[in-house]
């Protein structure tokens, strides 16, 4: 049973918004496009395992995708997929990496060989061990019963070749292709045949997971050392992405493709929330949407039923990131 669905990560949404709002010849575009490609590959890799998770009995497995829990004052653990059963908890770290993958446990690194080129990645084995440690602490801190925590590193790219040194037996147990995931979970069921958690406790842990989940947020402009002045403002055309559209008689008009829209400003305000600030005032709205009328800006913001504070003239609206 999926308790927390997989959604498009905020990272991808921010990168896409940033590319929409930078000039085509901006020197940072290539770097941002590379980061977006990596994030998209990771997301697609995580989605690829969902097919195999559907084979699991819905009544015995609680599945949580993209779970981020706080442990202590400043530490967080990010889990691609967490599976809770009455007998054990399973952490899945998904890697969508093509080529020949050599898990080097002598130097704790993952080496990918592709097109005769070697590339190093952080060791996923250490990564899942940290996740295992943090989830154990999180359960203790929240006074839940102790339960075995297992970890798998799932390679979602079907043509990847997995290798390691013969003496590193842990790799043979922990690393697998996504197609083999149901069988590996079945093996765990045979190892852990005693129920530890009651259905009531499982539901309580599930509620706490969802309640305590803290989505990762970050300042994307700072990440790429960009200033707000470099961001292109104005409402863009949903059809040809021309900036800016012109508002006439309650409609947004594109002077390039001649399309017209009633609500093209919604995506623009969404971009503002992703790139600049999750809150906006009437003046900020007018500046970003290229409006001259405070009453029109107010009407557009009010129509979105946004939460707000302050008096009518000094009102600040909270932009909900979808």
Q: With pLDDT > 90 as the criterion, what percentage of the chain qualifies?
A: 89
Contact 16, 39 (CB under 8 A): no
Find the mean pLDDT for residues 23-28. Answer: 95
What is the Cβ-side half-sphere exposure of residue 28, based on CA atoms within 13 angstroms? 20
How far, in whole angstroms, is CA 19 from its chain's centroid? Answer: 18
Contact 208, 64 (CB under 8 A): no
Do 244 and 292 touch, CB atoms closer than 8 A?
Answer: no
pLDDT band at 311 (very low <50, low <70, confident <90, very high): confident
Residue 313 pLDDT > 80, yes or no? no
19-67-168 Cα angle (round to 5): 100
Report d(CA 163, CA 171) in Å as an integer.
Answer: 9
Tens-digit pLDDT profile for residues 147-161: 999 999 999 999 999
pLDDT of residue 113: 97
For range 187-205, the mean pLDDT: 96
Does 322 score more than 70 pLDDT?
no
Calculate mean pLDDT across residues 138-142.
95
> Does the pLDDT at position 299 exceed 60?
yes
With cut-offs at 50, 70 and 90, classify the pLDDT of residue 2.
Answer: very high
Total count of residues recorded for the chain:
322
3-state secondary structure of 88: coil
Give the model's confidence band at 318: pLDDT under 50 very low, under 70 low, under 90 confident, else very high: very high
């Amino acid at each position: 049973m999926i308790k927390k669905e997989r959604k498009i990560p905020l990272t991808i949404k921010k990168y896409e918004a940033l590319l929409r709002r930078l000039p085509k010849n901006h020197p940072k575009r290539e770097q941002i496009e590379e980061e977006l490609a990596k994030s998209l590959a990771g997301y697609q890799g995580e989605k690829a395992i969902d097919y195999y998770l559907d084979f699991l009995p819905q009544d015995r497995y609680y599945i949580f995708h993209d779970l981020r829990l706080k442990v202590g004052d400043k530490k967080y653990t990010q889990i691609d997929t967490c599976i809770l059963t009455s007998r054990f908890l399973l952490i899945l770290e998904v890697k969508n990496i093509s080529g020949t993958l050599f898990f080097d446990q002598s130097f704790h690194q993952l080496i990918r060989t592709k097109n005769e080129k070697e590339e190093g990645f952080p060791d996923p084995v250490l990564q899942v061990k940290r996740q295992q440690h943090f989830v154990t602490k999180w359960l203790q801190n929240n006074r839940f019963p102790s339960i075995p925590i297992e970890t798998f590193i799932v390679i979602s790219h079907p043509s990847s070749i997995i290798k390691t040194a013969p003496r590193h037996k842990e790799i043979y147990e922990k690393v697998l292709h996504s197609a083999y995931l149901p069988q590996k979970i079945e093996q765990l069921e045979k190892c852990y045949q005693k129920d530890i958690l009651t259905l009531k406790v499982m539901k309580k842990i599930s509620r706490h997971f969802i309640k305590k989940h803290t989505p990762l947020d970050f300042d994307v402009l700072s990440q790429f050392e960009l200033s707000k002045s470099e961001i292109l403002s104005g409402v863009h055309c949903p059809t040809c992405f021309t900036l800016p559209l012109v508002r006439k008689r309650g409609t947004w008009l594109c002077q390039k493709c001649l399309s017209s829209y009633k609500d093209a400003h919604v995506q623009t305000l969404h971009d503002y929330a992703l790139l600049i600030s999750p809150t906006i005032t009437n003046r900020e709205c007018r500046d970003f949407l290229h409006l001259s009328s405070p009453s029109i800006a107010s009407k557009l913001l009010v129509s979105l039923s946004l939460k707000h504070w302050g008096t009518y003239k000094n009102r600040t609206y909270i932009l909900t990131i979808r």
